[in-house]
């Protein structure tokens, strides 16, 4: 199967891209092979985006409870609904999330949520890539911990059933919601399977204070003490860090994930120390977090907010320039998850977006990444390709009406149940 993208702007030049199977086989003046052809006139080809920290099915909770203090929001609104979630709810909620991702140019998400098999099924069916996790959230309860260990084993037993687009990960929710023995078990289990370890780390000031009071050290130091930090660790948030912690993250080659919109909307009270982490050599990715906290999964919004927050807080308009923002949303994500994508180049996996240059936010066309980061939103994506397969063309995704109907039904049902 070949796919030819004809005469698009690719890496600053008008040229064509030939995709054979799931890879980009050549870029330039390529011979017209019989197969599917996409007219690239008026379009720019760019790498698809990586959303490196999500709770996809929480899209069901979009707009259900906003503008509340964090603990009341969780205790009174989110957790009671989550207690009623069925596997089918997660399936349709995840499909809703993936639909939004495809429509806004994201083809990989790193997820942490209940019923991970449903998440994997939704991602398989919709053609995107995902890291799907076995979750741990025991609050020190040994019975719960045993349940999560069983669930993790059950998920990983099925490892070979998934396509190469799906990778399995291990996700202890956070250092404050998971006991030390369970964190250690998750660490060993992830190591045994060479899986990524996905965790919320240093998200709130309370987490830091409680950790110091309980363990006599700050969260990153505690995570290091438990042995959680390695090049397979994906740490979401990382907004309350001192210099020693930044050094530890760099030394252990941890990937830090910046969730600007979520941090601001939940009023987490600090901001991601981008320059300090970058200068220390930490791999930095971007993410939306779940739609219950950030409401949208549009990585274009995330890119813009991520950089303007840095400029605002540091007092420097030169902070976090747009080229770096775009790299964090593409090749840094690919690096973190060992996926041979994140750039449009020969030999890479064909995870590509066709950007419509005739959308008003893309005119004039001085600088593509400036437009993508500062003026565009996800609606400039005309075509989304993942693994050599066209998932959206002309902004139409197969089955989108059904997904919206079923997800809406599931969300309304949850509230009424």
User: Which residues bind to Zn ion, rule: CB under 5 A?
Assistant: 289
Of the pair 110, 327, the CB lying nearest Zn ion is at 110
Least separation in angstroms between residue 177's CB and Zn ion is 12
Of the pair 289, 356, the CB lying nearest Zn ion is at 289
Which residue has 């976090």 as its token pair?
Answer: 320
Least separation in angstroms between residue 200's CB and Zn ion is 5
d(CA 80, CA 65): 12
Of the pair 109, 326, the CB lying nearest Zn ion is at 109
Least separation in angstroms between residue 326's CB and Zn ion is 23
Least separation in angstroms between residue 112's CB and Zn ion is 7
Least separation in angstroms between residue 369's CB and Zn ion is 27
Of the pair 295, 371, the CB lying nearest Zn ion is at 295
Least separation in angstroms between residue 163's CB and Zn ion is 25
Nearest residue relative to Zn ion (C-beta): 289
Of the pair 292, 397, the CB lying nearest Zn ion is at 292
Of the pair 3, 309, the CB lying nearest Zn ion is at 309
Of the pair 112, 349, the CB lying nearest Zn ion is at 112
Least separation in angstroms between residue 262's CB and Zn ion is 7
Least separation in angstroms between residue 82's CB and Zn ion is 13
Of the pair 112, 145, the CB lying nearest Zn ion is at 112
Least separation in angstroms between residue 53's CB and Zn ion is 6
Least separation in angstroms between residue 17's CB and Zn ion is 35
- Single out the residue of 271, 210, 211 nearest to residue 237, CA to CA: 271
113 Cα distance to chain centroid = 13
**Per-residue three-class SS string for the chain:** CEEEEEEEEECCEEEEEEEECCEEEEEECCCCCCCEEEECCCEEEEECEEEEEECHHHHHHCCCCCCCCHHHHHHHHHHHHHHCCCHHHHHHHHHHHHHHHHHCCEEEEEECCCCHHHHHHHHHHHCCEEEEEEEECCCCCHHHHHHHHHHHHHHHHCHHHCCCCEEEEEEECECCCCCHHHHHHHHHHHHHCCCEEEEEECCCHHHHHHHHHHHCCCHHHHHHHHCCCCCCEEEEECCCCCHHHHHHHHHCCCEEEECHHHHHHCCCCCCCCHHHHHHHCCEEEECCCCHHHHCCCCHHHHHHHHHHHHHHHHCCCCCCCHHHHHHHHCHHHHHHCCCCCCCCCCCCECCEEEEECCCHHHCCCCCHHHHHHHHCCHHHEEEEEECCEEEEECCECCCHHHHHHHHHHHHHHHHHC
Of the pair 55, 331, the CB lying nearest Zn ion is at 55
Which residue has 């690239």 as its token pair?
Answer: 40
Tokens at 195, concatenated? 């899986």
Of the pair 98, 344, the CB lying nearest Zn ion is at 98
CA distances to 52, 58, 337, 370, 373 from 323, in Å: 18, 30, 21, 8, 9
């Amino acid at each position: 199967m070949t796919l030819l993208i004809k005469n698009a702007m690719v890496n600053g030049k008008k040229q064509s891209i030939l995709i054979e199977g799931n890879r980009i086989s050549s870029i330039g003046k390529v011979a017209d092979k019989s197969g599917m052809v996409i007219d690239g006139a008026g379009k720019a080809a760019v790498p698809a985006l990586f959303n490196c920290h999500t709770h996809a099915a929480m899209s069901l909770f979009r707009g259900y409870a906003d503008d509340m203090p964090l603990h009341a929001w969780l205790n009174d609104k989110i957790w009671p609904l989550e207690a009623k979630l069925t596997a089918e709810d997660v399936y349709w909620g995840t499909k809703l999330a993936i639909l939004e991702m495809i429509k806004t140019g994201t083809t990989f998400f790193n997820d942490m949520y209940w019923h991970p098999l449903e998440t994997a099924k939704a991602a398989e069916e919709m053609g995107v890539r995902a890291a799907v996790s076995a979750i741990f959230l025991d609050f020190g309860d040994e019975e719960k911990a045993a349940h999560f260990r069983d669930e993790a084993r059950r998920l990983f037993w099925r490892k070979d059933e998934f396509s190469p687009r799906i990778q399995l990960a291990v996700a202890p929710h956070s250092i404050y919601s998971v006991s030390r023995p369970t964190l250690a078990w998750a660490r060993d289990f992830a190591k045994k399977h060479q899986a990524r370890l996905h965790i919320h780390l240093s998200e709130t000031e309370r987490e830091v204070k409680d950790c110091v009071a309980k363990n006599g050290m700050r969260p990153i130091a505690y995570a290091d003490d438990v042995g959680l930090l390695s090049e397979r660790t994906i740490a979401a948030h990382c907004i309350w860090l001192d210099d020693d912690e930044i050094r530890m993250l760099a030394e252990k080659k941890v990937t830090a994930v910046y969730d600007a919109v979520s941090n601001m909307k939940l009023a987490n009270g600090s901001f991601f120390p981008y320059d300090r982490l970058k200068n220390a050599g930490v791999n930095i990715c971007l993410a939306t977090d779940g739609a219950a906290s950030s409401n949208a999964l549009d990585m274009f919004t995330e890119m813009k907010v991520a950089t303007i927050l840095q400029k605002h807080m540091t007092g420097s308009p030169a902070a976090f320039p747009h080229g770096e923002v775009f790299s964090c949303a593409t090749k840094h994500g690919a690096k973190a998850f060992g996926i041979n994508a994140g750039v449009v180049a020969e030999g890479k996996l064909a995870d590509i977006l066709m950007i419509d240059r005739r959308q008003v936010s893309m005119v004039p066309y001085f600088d593509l990444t400036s437009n993508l980061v500062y003026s565009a939103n996800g609606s400039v994506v005309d075509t989304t390709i993942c693994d050599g397969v066209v998932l959206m063309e002309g902004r139409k995704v197969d089955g989108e009406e059904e997904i919206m109907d079923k997800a809406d039904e599931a969300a309304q049902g949850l509230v009424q149940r």
